[in-house]
Structure 1
């Protein structure tokens, strides 16, 4: 089943002059593919999709698909294709498919917040143009559009719309949302959770964990999820004790910039985020580095 388990969203590394660091990207993907994660999604928010042009996005997908395929052919590589315009989404989706993507992730990005009928029409248009499985990304904090359960149910009738990535909220609200989504969709539709504080704090397995930090600390996330799913309370508590300070430190820092800092602390040459975003201050980078140094 697509978009289930640990779905890791790697950071796109940059060189000192702001170019995509493809050699380091390939090294990251090769390592991630054999780490135990269930799938890899490039060009999510963690991958700076909004700051890359069309050619760069296609090249990132191609590099990731090639490296993952060479390292472990069983781990699919999905691609984010979100954009402001429908025409751009269709172009990016075609590029991603040509580059070897096994599935697509799309959110309702827009300058003018979209209405439900506009999101429905855009998503159906995308689904009509590709046979790849599609995961809807509900990201109301950024898009100002919150997927109604009824719209999810309507879109799930399209054969290749197979999953929803939802913000975590509280354990109770997410469980209620999951029950509603599963009631409105057919068997096999995956309801995943995003937001790493929710993943770590709420102890909700969900059908999938969609995570940027999971691409940098994959073994911990894989162990954490396995312990939760199997009912290993002691194993879950041990993993959560290690992950919690890292995730809460990330949450207190600037989004995306903090992931580049975490990547650096984990030994990757990820560089700084692309301008106009600035790196986190040195003191915050050192805080993360100390936490990572303490992980066995």
Structure 2
């Protein structure tokens, strides 16, 4: 899965208050990513509000995005669901639409055991035939993948990669080394958590799964390419310029922030699905000021 490397950009999924996807706006977002040259597009991730959309609307979004790429940029589609049979159907939809892989989280209402998560992931990979990326997102699922579980899953046919969270930058190198030592050589190891992702790429991670890249791909690509080329100073310098954005992410959440960014940059006007509310006005002003301050660094 060579495409599971570099920068994977995760755009929002613009929709109305009834959960009907605005495919024209989504195509504009995807077109920006294709023009920038991202390595893959992460559609219907958490930023893409997959859990707030029906199966029908997810499929509409996926078809629109893949049509816009023209098959030139791989799409990793969120296929998470509470029920295993539903996740299987979503993964089958994604494969039929031309998605390159599925992103699967351990979403649940009742807390899940490791054996339950193992069986869930194994069933989706087996029954859909779609390559599966493990989505470890304990902040929303309240389930954390242990090293032992990742090792087990990495050896299941069809499970090809992991999207790890980044919480403490000083722990990334040891975490990555541990995961590399217990998973197959061709198993792709990537990280999300934008404010620490530059460090992950500098440490040798395969992929940055990026929220910010879904709306500002160029500056994120500069960080990734610098890290891939061993230019640590350049990677850190570009990341440092984004510090005001990382602070807003931490204070107000990345999802609310990128919806507002899309509006401020004139890409599309959309609000996150309720009950999530848009950024308060004071935060929007702070974000507009930060974007203006960054100026040419964003292009």
Alignment of 1:50-129 (within 5 A): 50-69=51-70, 73-129=71-127
What secondary structure sits across from 2:36 in the alignment?
A: coil
* 1:139 has 2:137 as partner: yes
**Which sits farther off after the overlay, 102-111 or 251-260?**
251-260
Task: Give the Å deviation of 1:242.
Answer: 2.1
**Which sits farther off after the overlay, 256-265 or 49-58?**
256-265
Q: Distance in 1 between matches of 2:40 and 2:5?
A: 8
Alignment of 1:234-273 (within 5 A): 234-273=233-272
Distance 1:27 1:38, change over 3 A: same
Out of 182, 186, 192, the residue aligned to residue 190 of structure 2 is 192
Q: Distance in 2 between matches of 1:199 and 1:214?
A: 12
**Which sits farther off after the overlay, 196-205 or 279-288?**
196-205
How high is the TM-score relative to the length of structure 1? Answer: 0.93
1:155 alignment partner in structure 2: 153
Q: Is the CA contact (8 Å cut-off) linking 1:16 and 1:271 kept in structure 2?
A: no
What secondary structure sits across from 1:124 in the alignment?
A: helix
1:10 alignment partner in structure 2: 11
Q: Distance in 1 between matches of 2:251 and 2:204?
A: 24
Question: Once the two structures are superposed, what CA deviation does each residue of 1:192-237 show, in whole Å capped at 9, x if it has no partner?
Answer: 1111121146654411101111111101010011112223244224
CA RMSD of aligned residues (A): 1.7
Q: Is the CA contact (8 Å cut-off) linking 1:2 and 1:133 kept in structure 2?
A: no
2:33 alignment partner in structure 1: 32
1:290 alignment partner in structure 2: 289
Identify unmatched segments of 5+ residues in structure 2: none
What secondary structure sits across from 2:80 in the alignment?
A: coil
Q: Distance in 2 between matches of 1:101 and 1:82?
A: 14
Q: Distance in 2 between matches of 1:53 and 1:5?
A: 30
Q: Distance in 2 between matches of 1:80 and 1:280?
A: 25
